A = this chain, B = another copy of it.
Amino acid sequence: MDNISSITLKKCVNEFAKLPGIGRKTALRLSIHLLKQKDDAAKELAQAIIDLKEQIKFCAICNNLSENEICEICSNTKRNSHQICVVENIQDILAIENTQQYQGHYHVLNGVISPMDGIAPSDLNFESLFSRVQPELQVEVILALPTTVEGDTTNFYIYRKLQNKAIKISTLARGVSIGDEIEFIDELTLGRSIINRVPYEG
């Protein structure tokens, strides 16, 4: 791999290999794939990447992707502005939108607190969140962060900051996933799903 003689190819492999989850072997495979395609395929990818950077910004309110100053969700007056769902990243918004079960707003933290990875509260979008959450606005904050130690830490941080503001704070229900075999569920999840059992509605 290290003796790719073409500087042009090496440069392209290096650039692909900077992307997350793409190693040098995959980067080489992608580069050679593009080389073998008709000219347009590679140019269209290159153009799409350039357009992406030039045309997409981050929403000034919630940090979601947006082609305007304010994103489509924040500017949609049909959505419930009294609900703010706090998520780790932009992909989470897409996942929740796909459920079609939520009609409120979002707030993207761009990460979770993780001392191990050197991510402190000051690295995340907390200030803009807390400025959105004022008691007089009667906002409900819905925590939809990952069910990890870092996610729990972040949940607790937000809770401590907001607890004196008389704001409703909720979190996603935790329980057995649809399709799970009981015997293979981790004991923490199974335990919680027993404690938080709900009436059976036939």
- Using a CB–CB cutoff of 8 Å, the interface residues on chain A facing chain B are 1-9, 11-12, 14-16, 18-22, 26, 28-36, 39, 41-53, 55-56, 65-67, 72, 89-91, 94, 97-98, 110
> Given the known A-B contacts A29-B91, A32-B89, A89-B32, are A51 and B8 also in contact in the complex, defined by CB atoms under 8 Å?
yes
| A94 pairs with B56, CB closer than 8 A | no
Q: How far apart sit A36 and B22, CA to CA, in the bound complex (Å)? A: 17
- A1-B94, A16-B48 provided; 13 other pairs, C-beta below 8 A? A7-B67, A9-B56, A15-B48, A15-B49, A16-B45, A18-B45, A19-B30, A19-B33, A20-B29, A35-B52, A36-B110, A42-B50, A43-B53
A26–B66 alpha-carbon span in the complex (Å): 20
A–B pairs, 7, beta carbons within 8 Å:
A2-B98, A8-B52, A8-B55, A8-B67, A32-B89, A42-B50, A49-B49
Once bound together, how far apart are the Cα atoms of A29 and B91, in whole Å? 8
Q: How far is the CA of A32 from the CA of B20 in the complex (A)?
A: 11
In the complex, what residue of chain B is closest to A38 when comparing beta carbons? B53
- CB of A112 to closest CB in B, whole Å: 15
Say how many copies of this protein the assembly contains: 2
A15 to B5, CA, bound (A): 28
Residue in chain B with minimal CB distance to A71? B5
Contact A3 B94 (CB under 8 A): yes
